[in-house]
Amino acid sequence: MKRILVVDDDPSNILILKTVLHDEGYLISEASNGQEALNLHAAAPFDMIITDWMMPIMDGLLLTSTVRLRRLGNPVIILITSLTLEGAKERAIMCGADIYLPKPLIPNIIRRTVSDGFKRQGTGLVSVKMPQIDVLRTPVAYSAIGVVASTGGPAALVEFFKNITLDNKTTCFVVQHGPAWMIETFAKSLSILSQKEIILPANLESVTPGKIYLAPGDNHMTVDAGNMHIRLDDTPPENFVKPSADPLFSTLASAFGIKAIGVVLTGMGCDGVIGAVKIKAAGGMVIAQDPDEAVVPSMPLSVLDTQMGIKSYKIKDMNQQIKIRLNEVSQIT
């Protein structure tokens, strides 16, 4: 039976959550502040923590970041917030929550959010076979790096782009799981912190070498190999997320072939595995973040478990591996 810890200083909100989830087969405990919740979780880690943001003693952001920093299990963490405070979005995206549940609390949304969270948590090793990839016959003149991150991803991406060396012969495409409001805010933060221009592309925008494109929230981002345009697809979630890395990685394999590089960073679930295998099948390279370094190691572990010769590195060491690979393929025309 899945164990859920509900954290809120308002008894009425706890009552709503317990009432809605009562018949779903979960074992539910409660806490009135973050410190109480942290003590309970440290003693016997829960499968999921649903926490309000604004609470006395310890708020939901500090609770979430502390659980992630101390590596206290790998719970799904759902942060409840109205996001009305100044700077709220910037603080929320960096805390390490998996899912954001807006107020007011709506029963059907609560049930679906909790169910999808557990389904995503439960995904792990994906059975995949090396597929046949129809690669663009005329090799492009530049390379592509596709990067995916989820839980703990904002901080990991900031570090990645601070360390990465890009030129006008390499284009970068990024998928960070999260809602639209989070992605829009994160694009600005990432640009400032990494000192690199981050673009939220429009549908059918032409791919320009040397640019960094971040998938907008609530749309999958793919690359059309025929005309090198970016497509934003409002199709169903894949791996319980939208945007998902698998559609992006799959099209990078077709469009760039041996000049495609996939990078899988911290996150819950297994998004990016199928696309990573397609990049490998097309002759490209895939690397993963060292699971011991990742805030949540599920995504890196899933791609490493494919046994496709994928290696893991700490983020600070990835730039060197990518530079070596880009130099190897730079003469291919």
pLDDT at residue 251 greater than cutoff 60: yes
Q: Looking at per-residue confidence, does 87 or 18 come out higher?
A: 18
| pLDDT, position 95 | 87
Structure confidence at residue 128 (pLDDT): 57
Q: What is the CA radius of gyration of the chain?
A: 20
**Contacting residues for 34 by C-beta, under 8 A, at least 6 apart:** 7, 51, 55, 57, 58, 59, 60, 62, 63, 66
Give the pLDDT mean for 195-201: 95
For residues 162-186, average pLDDT: 91
Q: Is the pLDDT of residue 333 over 80?
A: no
Mean pLDDT over 241-257 rounds to: 95
Closest by alpha carbon to 266, among 115, 96, 123? 96
Q: How confident is the model at residue 87 (pLDDT cuts 50, 70, 90)?
A: low
pLDDT above 70 as % of the chain: 93
Q: Judge contact between 59 and 32, C-beta under 8 A.
A: no
pTM of the predicted structure, to 2 decimals: 0.88
Query: Which pLDDT does position 125 carry in this prediction?
Result: 52
Structural contact between residues 24 and 1, judged by C-beta atoms closer than 8 angstroms: no
Residue 321 has pLDDT above 80, yes or no: yes
* Residue 181 vs residue 287, higher pLDDT: 287
The average pLDDT across 73-96 equals 80
Calculate mean pLDDT across residues 272-290: 95
Supply the residues annotated as catalytic.
Answer: 150, 177, 271
Residue range 101-148, pLDDT digits in tens: 888 889 999 999 999 999 888 776 555 555 656 655 556 889 999 999
- Supply the pLDDT for residue 134: 62
Question: What does the buried/exposed string (b/e) look like for 139-154 if buried means 16 or more CB atoms within 10 Å of the residue's CB?
Answer: ebebbbbbbbbbbbbb
Per-residue pLDDT reduced to its tens digit, 4-57: 999 999 999 999 999 999 888 899 999 999 999 999 999 999 999 999 998 999
Asked if pLDDT for residue 282 goes beyond 70, the answer is yes
Q: CB neighbours of 312 closer than 8 A, spacing ≥ 6?
A: 287, 288, 289, 290, 291, 300, 304
**HEC readout, the chain:** CCEEEEECCCHHHHHHHHHHHHHHCCEEEEECCHHHHHHHHHHCCCCEEEEECCCCCCCHHHHHHHHHHCCCCCCEEEEEECCCCCCHHHHHHHCCCCEEEECCCCHHHHHHHHHHHHHHHHCCCCCCCCCCCCCCCCCCCCEEEEEEECCCHHHHHHHHHHHCCCCCCEEEEEEECCCHHHHHHHHHHHHHHHCCCCECCCCCCECCCCCEEECCCCCEEEEECCCCEEEEECCCCECCECCCHHHHHHHHHHHHHHHEEEEECCCCCCCCHHHHHHHHHCCCEEEEECCCCCCCCHHHHHHHCCCCCCEEECHHHHHHHHHHHHHHHCCCC
To which CATH superfamily is domain 143-329 assigned? Methylesterase CheB, C-terminal domain (3.40.50.180)
Predicted pLDDT at 82: 76
Give span(s): CATH 3.40.50.180, the chain: 143-329
Q: How confident is the model at residue 280 (pLDDT cuts 50, 70, 90)?
A: very high
Average pLDDT, the chain: 91
Give domain 3-122's CATH superfamily: Response regulator (3.40.50.2300)
What is the tens place of the pLDDT at every residue in 293-304?
999 999 999 999
Q: Rounded mean pLDDT of 136-162?
A: 89
What is the reported pLDDT for 89?
A: 72
The pLDDT of residue 121 is 83
At 180 the pLDDT is 86
Mean pLDDT across the stretch 252-260? 94
